[in-house]
Every structure is written in C-alpha cells, then in structure tokens.
Amino acid sequence: MSLLAKHQIVNAHLLATADKGRPRSASLRRAVSTAYYAVFHAICAACADRLVGWRQPWTVYTPIFRAPDHYATTQALREPFLTAIPELQRLGLLLKELQSAREWADYNPEPRPNYRLGTNDTPFTRQEAMRLIDSAAEAISIIDRLDDDSRLKLATRLVPRTRKMNPLR
Amino acid sequence: MSQSRKDEQAEAVTKSTIARLFGANAIDRIDVFPTEDQAGEEGLSVTVFLKTDQENVSGARLLDTIVAVSEALRNIDDFRFPYVTFLGPGYEHAEDDARPAA
C-alpha cells in the first residue's frame, strides 16, 4: 500500500472515531469520502506506475495519474475485458459500493445512502463507516496484489480517452 | 416478466443467498428494494438487520456478500448492483441534522 493510500485510510479511521458519544454526520461523511479517495488514488497510482513508472518526472507521471475518471472506472471494471480477472471483478464491486457511499457523503443531504422517503430509515452509523473503511483497505490490498499483466490491462482500459471500445476485445 | 415479478424474484434470491452466508439465526430481517445510483442506473438496496452486534462483518465479508448476491442475481438474468448495508441493534447513529419546519 502506498504511503498516501495508507495515510488516507488512517485518516478515515481517525475521522470515524473522532467524536465521543453519537458521531457527527460530518465526521462519518468525511471518513467515507476519504476512504473512497484512498482506493481511487491507489488505482490511479497503479496505472501511472505501470505505464510510466514512479521514477519518471512529474511532468509525465501526473497526466497519467490524473487520467482515470471516477464513473468511467467503475463502468470499465464491469466489462468482460477486466472482469475476466477475478481480482479486478472484486475490486470493481467494492469500488462501486464505495463510490455510491461517497456520492451520498459528499453531495446528498439525506441521512443515509439509499434513503427511502416515507420510512423510518435511521441515520448512518459509525459501524457502517468503519466497515466501508475496512472494505477500502481490502480494495487497496487487491490492487497491491495485482500482477503486472492485470495492472497493464487495467491501465490501458482506464487511461486512454478512446472512442467506445468493443468490451469483448 | 413484469417489473414487480422481477423485483419479487430478486428479493427472494437475495434473501436466500444472505441467509445461506450468515445463517438464519444471525439475521433479524432483510429489506430489499429497487434503487437508482447517481448516474440513474438501476440497483438494489439491500439492508441486513443483524440480531446482535456480535457478528463481525468485516470489509472482506461485505465484499463476499456483494459477490454472492451479484452472482445469484445474474443467475436469474438480473444485472442490478446490490448495495449492501448491515445494521446491528447497538450501532451508533450519527446525530440528526436539524431540518427547518415546512
């Protein structure tokens, strides 16, 4: 796990456990968002490391690191080209769950993800936030264990701004 | 097949899959209902109400649950993503946001 990703997970834990008694919604939301970004940054780093290399100058590393798009990444991780690799299929499922939670955390005023109007849905909980942080750490460990070929396939699918590709190729 | 029939099948498959993973004794009830993600894509919201807080549902276990439910849904040609939430009786809820009166 990169130091940046590791520290983002640590920060997410700190945020989720910061409040004594009932947690503040703001703390749990920032924790979930931070955990999601730890995973997304780990994916970006895996792509840039594989295609460019960490030792290259920022001028060539950063554009590749910045290339993956959030929504396009979850979509690509559902295509057969990548889901044929079981680790990438699992990563895609985790990322989708985390991305949905992060969308709620950053943008949605309702008390929990997938809030149902007209019901007695309870507010988001500390334990749910901790579980999402744990799943983010799991996602990063999947990325860390990817072999060279899997990293190359992931990077070549996420980085180029191509016209619509045939997912079966 | 009608949408309501499809939802009924998805609910039944989801519940039986999770009960098999955790054991019926660990679960109080499971709520399953259709939802939409931020991009407007159809999904399923799955909330598992645990009987006690003893059951440690780790991130890896959450992933195993999503994998199992996704596969079970695909087997009935339902490709909706299951957003899975676990809730226990002792979970610490966030403070409510005060909303202005309507």
3-state DSSP assignment of residue B47: strand
Number of domains in chain B: 1
Chain A residues with CB inside 8 Å of B86's CB? 127-128, 131
Inter-chain touch A135–B62, beta carbons under 8 Å: yes
Residue A96 has its nearest CB partner, among B57, B81, B92, at: B81
Is A14 part of any domain?
yes
Residue B77 CB partners (closer than 8 Å, separation 6+): none
User: How much is the pLDDT for A126?
Assistant: 95
User: How much is the pLDDT for A162?
Assistant: 59
**Closest residue in B to A135 (Cα–Cα):** B59
Is A71 part of any domain?
yes
Distance CA A102, CA A108 (A): 9
Is A30 part of any domain?
yes
Is A166 part of any domain?
no
Inter-chain touch A97–B33, beta carbons under 8 Å: no
Question: In tens digits, what is the pLDDT along chain A, a chain of 169 residues?
Answer: 788 999 999 999 999 999 999 999 999 999 999 999 999 999 999 999 999 999 999 999 999 999 999 999 999 999 999 999 999 999 999 999 999 999 999 999 999 998 877 676 889 999 999 999 999 999 999 999 999 999 999 999 999 875 555 555 4
Is A86 part of any domain?
yes
User: How much is the pLDDT for B1?
Assistant: 72
Q: How many CB atoms lie within 10 A of CB A21?
A: 7
CATH code where residue A33 lies: 1.20.120
Interface probe for A, chosen from B37, B74, B92 (most Cβ of A below 10 Å), is: B92
User: How much is the pLDDT for B4?
Assistant: 87
The total number of residues shown for chain A amounts to 169
Is A120 part of any domain?
no
State the residue range of the domain holding B59: 3-87
The tens digit of pLDDT for each residue in B5-41 reads: 899 999 999 999 999 999 988 999 999 999 988 788 8
Residue B51 has pLDDT above 60, yes or no: yes
3-state DSSP assignment of residue B28: strand
- More confident site: A2 or B101: A2
This model of the complex carries an ipTM of 0.88
Residue A57 is which amino acid?
P
Distance CA B101, CA A9 (A): 38
Angstrom distances, CA of residue A15 to CA of A4, A8, A35, A150: 16, 10, 10, 33
Is B51 part of any domain?
yes
CATH code where residue B51 lies: 3.30.300.30
Q: How many CB atoms lie within 10 A of CB A80?
A: 10
Is A38 part of any domain?
yes
Is A26 part of any domain?
yes
Angstrom distances, CA of residue B86 to CA of A74, A131, B5, B96: 23, 9, 25, 20
Q: Are A146 and A154 in contact (CB under 8 A)?
A: yes
3-state DSSP assignment of residue A146: coil
Is B33 part of any domain?
yes
Q: What's chain A's Rg over C-alpha atoms? A: 17
Q: Are A8 and A34 in contact (CB under 8 A)?
A: yes
Distance CA A59, CA A65 (A): 11
Is B21 part of any domain?
yes
Is B25 part of any domain?
yes
Distance CA B26, CA B28 (A): 7
User: How much is the pLDDT for B42?
Assistant: 94
User: How much is the pLDDT for A33?
Assistant: 98
User: How much is the pLDDT for B99?
Assistant: 67
Task: Answer left, alpha or beta for residue A118, where phi above 0 means left and psi between -120 and 50 means alpha.
Answer: left
Distance CA B22, CA A114 (A): 23
Distance CA B10, CA B18 (A): 12
- Predicted model pTM: 0.91
Chain B residues with CB inside 8 Å of A109's CB? 97
pLDDT-derived band of residue B98, with 50, 70 and 90 as boundaries? low
Number of domains in chain A: 1
- Of chain B, the percentage scoring pLDDT greater than 90 comes to 68
Inter-chain touch A103–B38, beta carbons under 8 Å: yes
User: How much is the pLDDT for A84?
Assistant: 96
Cα-Cα-Cα-Cα torsion A64, A66, A72, A78, nearest 10 degrees, comes to 60
State the residue range of the domain holding A79: 3-109+126-158
